[in-house]
């Protein structure tokens, strides 16, 4: 499996548990590295997270981004969990919870919507958390949500 986050890329093969572990390590290292560079002024990335971490409700955030499909709604909910709620990763149930809090019906099959984002390179696996699959957004996924908040979809 090949994984890319921003300019960092890795390829790993082997048993599924080994691949998941290596991807989770890569995601942790890469996102920590990006977080450090994101805080510095000359990273080449000018987009700041969409909203401050205090007081933004799921409903406000989803209204601002206005996702037009279930796949994009799942992406927006993942962004909300990572960037607004400062979670390292998220599960399908947490995505459903955010959409429910926003009074938006979740997709009939949240996992299918997550897989749709994975196929597009917008979300990727981050291993397991509490015996559930966990996910993170890729930099392309973050960029897409930020674009949605500024008028695109």
What confidence tier does 150 reach under pLDDT thresholds 50, 70, 90? confident
Q: Is the pLDDT of residue 90 over 90?
A: yes
Give the three-class secondary structure for 104.
coil
- Model confidence over 18-65: pLDDT tens digits? 777 777 777 777 666 555 444 444 334 444 444 444 578 899 999 999
What confidence tier does 114 reach under pLDDT thresholds 50, 70, 90? very high
Query: What is the rounded distance in angstroms from the CA atom of residue 33 to the CA atom of residue 27?
Result: 10
| 45 against 129, higher pLDDT | 129
pLDDT for the residue numbered 31? 62
pLDDT for the residue numbered 29? 74
**Tokens of residue 42, six digits:** 């000359």
pLDDT (mean) for 64-74: 93
Q: Is the distance from CB of 23 to CB of 1 less than 8 angstroms?
A: yes
Length of the chain in terms of residues written:
153
Query: What is the rounded distance in angstroms from the CA atom of residue 105 to the CA atom of residue 33?
Result: 35
pLDDT for the residue numbered 51? 46
Task: Name the average pLDDT for the chain.
Answer: 81
pLDDT for the residue numbered 37? 46
Give the three-class secondary structure for 138.
coil
Identify the residue whose tokens are 């996910």: 135
Query: What is the rounded distance in angstroms from the CA atom of residue 100 to the CA atom of residue 131?
Result: 22
Q: What is the pTM of this model?
A: 0.65
Which letter does DSSP use for residue 90 in this model?
A: B
Q: Is the pLDDT of residue 12 over 90?
A: no
CA nearest neighbour of 113 among 55, 60, 57, 74: 74
Pairing of strands 2-5, 8-11: antiparallel
The CATH code for residues 52-149 is: 1.10.10.10
What confidence tier does 112 reach under pLDDT thresholds 50, 70, 90? very high
Phi-psi region of 39 (alpha: psi -120 to 50; beta: other; left: phi over 0): alpha
Backbone phi, psi, residue 137, to 5°: -80, 150
pLDDT for the residue numbered 32? 61
Query: What is the rounded distance in angstroms from the CA atom of residue 90 to the CA atom of residue 134?
Result: 5
């Amino acid at each position: 499996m090949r994984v890319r986050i921003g300019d960092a890329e890795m390829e790993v093969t082997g048993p599924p548990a080994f691949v998941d572990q290596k991807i989770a390590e890569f995601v942790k290292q890469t996102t920590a590295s990006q977080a450090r560079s994101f805080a510095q002024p000359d990273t080449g990335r000018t987009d700041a997270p969409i909203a401050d971490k205090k007081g933004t409700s799921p409903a406000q955030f989803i209204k601002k981004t206005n996702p037009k499909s279930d796949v994009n709604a799942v992406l927006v909910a993942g962004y909300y969990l990572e960037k607004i709620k400062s979670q390292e990763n998220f599960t399908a149930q947490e995505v459903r919870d955010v959409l429910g809090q926003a009074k938006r019906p979740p997709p009939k099959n949240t996992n299918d919507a997550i897989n749709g984002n994975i196929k597009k390179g917008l979300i990727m696996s981050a291993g397991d958390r509490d015996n559930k699959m966990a996910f993170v957004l890729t930099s392309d996924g973050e960029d897409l949500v930020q674009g949605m908040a500024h008028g695109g979809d």
